[in-house]
Amino acid sequence: MKFGTKAVHAGVHPDPTTGAIMTPIFQTSTYAQVSPGAHKGYEYSRTQNPTRFALRDSIAALEDGKTGLIFSSGMGAIDTLMKILKPGDEVISSDDLYGGSYRLFSRVYEGLGIKFHFTDMRKVDNVKKLVNEKTKLIWVETPTNPMMNIVDIQAIADLKKGTDILLAVDNTFATPYLQLPLALGADVVMHSVTKYLGGHSDVVMGALVLNDLELAEKLAFLQNSAGAVPGPQDCFLVLRGIKTLHLRMKQHCENARALVPVLQDHPLVEKVYWPGLKDHANYEVAARQMKDFGGMISFVVKGSKEAAFKVMEKFELFTIAESLGGVESLVNHPATMTHASVPPDKRLELGIVDNLVRLSVGVEEPEDLVSDLKQALEL
């Protein structure tokens, strides 16, 4: 079954009671039992909910995974995965990653005895040097946030072959439409469903997808114990959003492709970061493991932070806001917004300078976005 067909149909079946095409919103906390322990597979909505399970099956199918779990946020998903670790374990992570992930790793789990190694994963040898008997997890973001760095998932998977090390990939920027980490050797895929999967900036949610049913059972136990579950209304909204994922991603990519040359040719722009540029580091890897190059672009404005702010404030269609992946175009200042929790010296080391701007390119008409970008750059 091709991706667009799966996006519309996977995990969704007509309601057996009414024949409703869309999965109903099962807005209930509990379920009737004919006798203690004798029920129809549902006891309590923290543990099981039909709307949530339909979404779980849909996202798992899109990632070509066997099963998955749906969480109240992307951070809830990452936190649950981290709970399988114990003091003394070590994690190798992308050094350029979402600020919230960095904060959770460095300020929460390091304090609980987990050691994190943050490294530039564009070079696989950097990861190889850090692998030891205490390594239990390799955490990959690709493309990374906000520098759009590309990591070779298959090469990292080959590196840890024959070990018990888990490889987890944050696939938020690419989505399963552009990239399938499990097929490349990953063990776990994470999504901030808030972004492209939901696609309409109206839901906060996360997901994990995997093939290992035993690990899935452990994660389900942890999720149920801690309670990081979304409500059925939010699950319904994402089920609806996913039906157009393939259409939206095509437009996101097309629109980004239209904006990149404008940025490259403009005298006010110092540097452009987009995986589809042939001079982008690891472009060949992106071309091999991704179907297209996505709708996220970062660029450096010549001058100071104030110059970057002036550009951002001049946009008319791009809205200054946190988050990404919605149908509307957004503009973000990583140093003071999404990556403010990363120490300033670390930000500079990664290239997250004060005059770096990140665009989440929406699905508006490309000509209108080009016009908006041009006028914003005319200071």
Domains in the chain, CATH or no CATH each: 3-242 (3.40.640.10), 245-377 (3.90.1150.10)
**Predicted confidence band of residue 37 (pLDDT cuts 50, 70, 90):** confident
Look up residue 38 and give its two tokens.
């004798």
CB atoms within 10 A of CB 273: 23
Catalytic residue among 6, 52, 79, 98: 98
Q: Is 128 a residue of the active site?
A: no
* DSSP helix/strand/coil, 364: coil
Please give the C-alpha separations between residue 49 and each of 23, 229, 235, 236, 239, in angstroms, as whole numbers: 11, 10, 10, 11, 14
Catalytic residue among 95, 96, 170, 292: 170
pLDDT in tens, 172-220: 999 999 999 999 999 999 999 999 999 999 999 999 999 999 999 999 9
Contact between 78 and 190 under an 8 Å Cβ cutoff? The reply is: yes
Catalytic residue among 122, 195, 248, 358: 195
Question: What's this model's pTM, rounded to 2 decimal places?
Answer: 0.96
Dihedral angle over CA of 226, 228, 231, 235, nearest 10: -140
Catalytic residue among 31, 42, 46, 310: 46
**Predicted confidence band of residue 26 (pLDDT cuts 50, 70, 90):** very high
Q: Is 195 a residue of the active site?
A: yes
State residue 79's pLDDT score.
98
